[in-house]
Structure 1
Amino acid sequence: MLRLACLLMLLLPMMPVLAADPVPKAPQSGVGGTLSEADHDALRGLLVDATAALNRLDTATLAQYLADGFVLTFADQHVVTDLGQLDSYVRNYFEGSDAPLKAVHFAPQATELTRAIDGQTGLVYGTSTDTYTLADGTSLSLDTHWTATVVRQDGGWRLQGFHAGVNMLDNAIINAVQRRILVWAAVALAVGLVMGTVIAPLLRRH
């Protein structure tokens, strides 16, 4: 269980990826510019399409939503900077007979509209409820927080940077491990009581 816990912490993300917006609001200005309603619509589409590709584990399609020189930092602080690394990251956890995971489903939501840094760059953050299906069929849901930087490239918006994280002290993995520890502690206590009940009288006789 501890091994699976560590493996899941590696994956946490993989990204509620891509910066998009919640229910439409007035465009929000940032450091040096504004984004139009058309920009926000495009970012919403980016979120929907990229999330769908990610939930299918379709890295080939996901690649078209990544900007040149992208940097993705996962919850384990593992950094991916090219498509080959991204493919390997996914294969390690979902493919092969010893893969620890069978499926994943991300459901990201932006907390607010993307903030314009300038006319070509935006910053957005939000939350996601991510459901992981382990190789044995067990499902775990994790609440993550994420921050993303998007840039305008080739006539559209692309993901330039992404960082995801989870509360290390309060999440489904930690809770599952704690429950398992409590179960084994109870078993150990029961065994100890039984052994004490049986062995103590024998020792007193000798």
Structure 2
Amino acid sequence: MTRLPGCVVVLLLTFLPSAALAQPASNDAATHEALRVLKQQMEDALNAQDIDGLLRHLHPDVSFTTMNNDVRVGKESIRAYYEEMMRGPNRVVDRIRAKFEVDDLTRLYGDTGIARGSSRDHYVLTDGTDIVIDGRWTCTLVREGDRWLIAAFHYSTNVFDNPLLTRLQHLALAAVTVTGLGALVVGAVMGRRFRRRQEPPSPHAP
């Protein structure tokens, strides 16, 4: 029986683990690059208002929690939400421009990945409101074959400090101010009429 020299055994033990780990590391690098491309494609589709481009990267059973706390499940439900908010007769949003940033590399668990990050979204509403909202998002992805698809997306913003809340507060303050001024004017008019009725008739009146 042929025995390998001790130095050869040491070299094999040194390099074999590195060779074994090199392949997974290479696969992970390719995966992260594919996910970066996916993020950019989703961002481009949203900014171009390309709903078909968005749906192309979603899992058929995708779950989407929107900023207004609506939950949509499935591609057609998300299409209906998009049509309602941006294209229908009662649409709220005229156009949007978003920029997505990731916090770090997607956490990979076999064929599942979880990513998180932030977004800076410029909204122009149909009533002319022009606001920028800083949001936070979490995305769950699954691999099917050689493709990564979005299985869940949760979007939120700070309910205590955001431009839309500030605008609503200003509108509420304006409404209270107008109502208060109106009440003062009505009170003044009614007071004058009441005083006139209470005044005694003039002694020179016929």
TM-score, normalised with respect to structure 1:
0.74
Q: Is contact 2:61–2:75 with CA below 8 Å preserved after alignment?
A: no
In 1, Cα distance between equivalents of 2:65 and 2:71: 5
Q: Is contact 1:57–1:90 with CA below 8 Å preserved after alignment?
A: no
In 2, Cα distance between equivalents of 1:76 and 1:102: 16
Q: Report sequence identity in percent.
A: 29
**Is 1:136 aligned to 2:127, yes or no?**
yes
**Is 1:125 aligned to 2:116, yes or no?**
yes
Greater relative contact order (Cα 8 A, min sep 6): structure 1 or 2?
1
Q: 1:199 to 1:169 in 2, by over 3 A?
A: same
Give 3-state SS (helix, strand or coil) of 1:107's partner. strand
1:67 is matched with which residue?
Answer: 59
The two structures, once aligned, show a CA RMSD in angstroms of 2.2
From 77, 92, 101, give the equivalent of 2:84: 92
From 125, 137, 153, give the equivalent of 2:144: 153
1:30 is matched with which residue?
Answer: none
Q: Which protein has the larger Cα radius of gyration, Structure 1 or Structure 2?
A: 2
Give 3-state SS (helix, strand or coil) of 1:106's partner. strand
**Is 1:79 aligned to 2:106, yes or no?**
no
User: Could you tell me which amino acid in structure 2 is paired with residue 36 of structure 1?
Assistant: D
In 1, Cα distance between equivalents of 2:36 and 2:28: 13
Q: Is contact 1:115–1:123 with CA below 8 Å preserved after alignment?
A: yes
Q: 1:137 to 1:191 in 2, by over 3 A?
A: closer
User: What whole-Å deviation, never above 9, does each CA across 1:47-106 have from its counterpart, x for those lacking one?
Assistant: 110111122222212222113432222233332222211211111122244322211122
In 2, Cα distance between equivalents of 1:96 and 1:74: 18
**Is 1:36 aligned to 2:28, yes or no?**
yes
Q: Is contact 1:67–1:153 with CA below 8 Å preserved after alignment?
A: no
Q: 1:196 to 1:78 in 2, by over 3 A?
A: closer
Q: Is contact 1:108–1:127 with CA below 8 Å preserved after alignment?
A: yes
User: Could you tell me which amino acid in structure 2 is paired with residue 141 of structure 1?
Assistant: V
User: Could you tell me which amino acid in structure 2 is paired with residue 135 of structure 1?
Assistant: T
Q: Is contact 1:107–1:128 with CA below 8 Å preserved after alignment?
A: yes
User: Could you tell me which amino acid in structure 2 is paired with residue 56 of structure 1?
Assistant: A
**Count of equivalent residues:** 173
User: What whole-Å deviation, never above 9, does each CA across 1:136-181 have from its counterpart, x for those lacking one?
Assistant: 3322222211111112223132211111112223222221111011
1:193 is matched with which residue?
Answer: 184
User: Could you tell me which amino acid in structure 1 is paired with residue 66 of structure 2?
Assistant: F
Q: Unaligned 5+ residue runs, structure 1?
A: 1-32
Q: Unaligned 5+ residue runs, structure 2?
A: 1-23, 199-206
**Is 1:108 aligned to 2:100, yes or no?**
yes
